[in-house]
Structure 1
Amino acid sequence: MLVKHLLIILLLVLNFATLTVLAQSNIPSKSKVTAIAKEANELMKVGNHEQSLIKSRLALSQAILLKDDNLIAGLYNTIAANFDQLSENDKASYYYHKGLTYANKTNNDILKNWLNNNLGNIYCFDKKQYKKGIEHYKKSLQYSSKIKDSVQILFTKLNLTWAYFDIGRYNEGLPYLKYINKHHKKHGDSSTIVALNMLNGMYYNYKNDTKKAQFFFLNAIKLGNEGNEKSDLSYSHHEFSKFLLKNGDYKNAYKNLELFNTITEKLNNEEKLQKANVAGINLQIDEYKREIDKIESEFKTKEYLLLQEQSKNKKIVVVLISILVLLFFIFYFYSQNAQLKHKNKLKDLRSKVQENMINASINGQELERKKIASFLHDNISALLSSAGLHLQAYTSQNQSSSQEIVKTKAILEQAHDQVRDLSHELMPSLLARFGLFDALEDLCQKNSNSILHMEYSSTLNRTTRYDEDFEMKIYFIIMELLNNIIKHSQAQQARLSIHENSKYLDITITDNGKGFDSNRFHVLEGFGINQIKARINNLKGTVAINSKLDSGTAIKINVPITY
């Protein structure tokens, strides 16, 4: 028996040595990772975003193993640029910031320049957070000046001019515009000439020099029609329509506004087609799977290191036969315990992934509701208002208005009201403007009727505000629970109570309905309680459900407040 144990231990030692060699051979080479990163970047340039993301994420996992900050930063920039081109601005911003964190650890001023410039674009022209955007543009300008890249200096100053002009700070943008006008012929190219002419038009419009403003606007439109910069052409028509409207030329202002809308709609359609090539939810799920693979890989690496350390100790065991049996049993029980822990950890991870997938789906739905509501309010509603404004301008110039114009105005007003109502239904205006407590009180009042009375109670000041995303999540959790009461409970009375308790929010929802067996809630159809629990877990909160048949239901939620 002792000889058998000795042979087993010797076999284990050989296995450990083999695993160690394999582990060392699996470390990728820098040249291989660089080649994959280059391929990912080329795929992005030709618009194959799905393959580019797959390649860049593969290269990123290997670059992290190499601990190469320069490679890691460059790959985060590629991932962000893919999402940027797909108009997934939040993801693009997140990965640009990750890339900048690693780039700041290196001497790669070129990459720092691009990352800051891209973040400036995100903040200024997508998120409309001009203060942050201008800060990143100025950092980009510092790096492009440091590396003496004249082309990039001009490009960044063009962005700074545009950002300042977009918020009406023309005097602060003027020095940059003067520099561009002076050096564009030498360092600029055809991709920026349309924007430069438009910016000159905007400046002279601000200075009320109509002759120069009109010259530059018309030149921008002419060059835009000859080239491929359709977004700059779209902006040129928009700014020219403002100029014409300011100077009383309503007819041409309307024509340019129509051209702006046509080009913008075409660009938006192209963007939608581009987005269709990559399914966002699949990317999220793949990302979670990759996170699991990463955790498992880290665990195996640690396990290999542990086994390597044990293999050294086993060499002594070969000499010290007297303690072979003891060491064998120690190793055997340790291995069994480690395997059991490993299985339990994988089981916990799978459970966490399922919960994360539910949360990802819910967050995606809430994000889409917010995007659609914002799009309806900021774009469609604005376009309807603009159409009404132009119709009003026309009727004010023509004393007699036909019946068709009167009807058209009424239809536009009706469409505007319906768009506004739909926007408020997707994302309640009370929640955005006045906060969680006004929105919940209004929700209870709207759901109350002669059959069901919903009572709202809170000790908190109704003007108290929390983090916007936190308020939105709490609102939709409570709305789902109240909907369950309306659909399933057959109650006559319901009550919603909210209180603060040491930086935690206590929420209690009760009803006197038919109730259900809370021990079997996971098999009930249509209640959505599993999804609600996943939402609350995502907020690091707890939920307790107490219900019995024919005895009503009480739900208590406790979540840490995000201010």
Structure 2
Amino acid sequence: MCHYQIGEIFRKINNHEKALFHFKKSLEIALINGGFNENNNILSKNEIKYAKSLLRAGYEFFRLQDLDSAKNYYSKIIDLNFHSTELENIKASAYNNLSGIYLHESSYKTAREYARKAIEIRRKYNNKIYEAAALGNLASIYLEEKKFNDAKSIYLSAINLIEKNTSDEAVRFKEDLYFNLAWALYKMKDYTAYDYQEKSYLIKDDRRDKEIRKTVEQVYAQQKVDLEKEKTALVEEQRKLEEAQEAKTSLLFAALSVLVLFVSGVVIYNYKLRQKNLRLKLSESKLLQQQNLEKVKSEAQVKILNATIDGKETERKLIAEILHDNVSALLSSANMHLTATRKQFNGETPQEIEKTQAIILEASQKVRDLSHNLVSSVLLKFGLEYAVKDVIKKYSNSQLQFEIDAQNINRYNQEFEIRIFNVIQELINNILKHSKANYAQIELKEEKDQLTILVKDDGVGFSASSSSFSDGIGLNQVEARVRMMNGKLTIKSGENVGTSIFVKVPILRKEKSTVLTSVG
């Protein structure tokens, strides 16, 4: 099982080509050691090892987009004739993954058949987690066929199986099930979809937060190990220095016994030169240690900063939704009740009711303004292009003219749109606060799966040593946000020549329904 275990390691780090190589080696060894019986089936004592290797190899072919090979390996599992609980569960995984492949190829009838076989086996052995995964695949088939009611019913059944299960695997499946159910409800114009979408996002944020904390802990643990290694190296270097000094001293006294005047001068000169070199080497070692420490701290700070920004964005979005969906609705309801009360008076309406309605209207407007400031409702409903147009329309006046040029802008992943919108909004704030500009322009363009953003103005600009820009959004936060999105940031500015800021990031597309695969 050595090759199998090595394949597992490469699978977990997403090196699918090397994982596939070792799983194939595991299959070869299983065949050599196991042999065949009279029905041309591998012997039962080696069957489980063989079946597991087939399942893993099929999964790696699927990840490498070689779907025909994946189907071939999964079919070999299904053709095995020996019966055992473990083998039946492996077959259930093969059925489930074949369902996902045929769904990918739009062969919906075949995909349903395999999904139902996987569900039947998982239900037989009361494996609720993988039964939920198989149900999720069946629901995704109905979703792709636009049978939204059927998809909704099956998604809810799958969620009910693992609703209270907090294992890592169950949580991973629930994230996808909530998201896919939200998509089905959205297509049905049932806006409880946003509740399930939020549940999916909360799970995703929690998993990402755990990964960030784990990364930070690993960084600091590695930093501690590196510091200990440097400390040990410095102690060893000091010991060698002391030994060298003792040796040189002995050599000096020996030389003095032969040629006191001539040799002593040479030895002293050599001693001082070597001592200087050792001091330089020690200084270089300390400098290198300090540089490594600063690099680790910088990387950790960037990761912590990004995690903080993500947390703030999630919190702002949640507060905005509460204000819009709950508080605003309550104020509207109160206003309706007061309007109904006014009709019950035959004569003049009491002044207190009119004043109360005016106060409620003012509070509603403030709630809408606050909700819009936290997360733009235009952004959530209509997308990035319309949200930016809404902002510049609000800020344009006789003193500062804003223009926008948007080319080929579509709807993207919601988190991606929020992050890009926040960066643009902060750059606009810097123009308003610092530039003293009369004209500003924003250019948005989608090209070859890249989103480019150019924000420029004709204001006072700033030199390389100026702090006016960092007093606004802060270069660290801008660069951290763009770097987290695997993008690039370029700033061109000078005193009294205006400022141009160019951002280029890979586009994160709007998510569709996902297929749940089994590897165990």
What TM-score results when the alignment is normalised by the length of structure 1? 0.41
Larger radius of gyration: 2
Higher relative contact order (CA 8 A, sep 6+): 2
What TM-score results when the alignment is normalised by the length of structure 2? 0.44
1 or 2, which has the higher helix percentage? 1
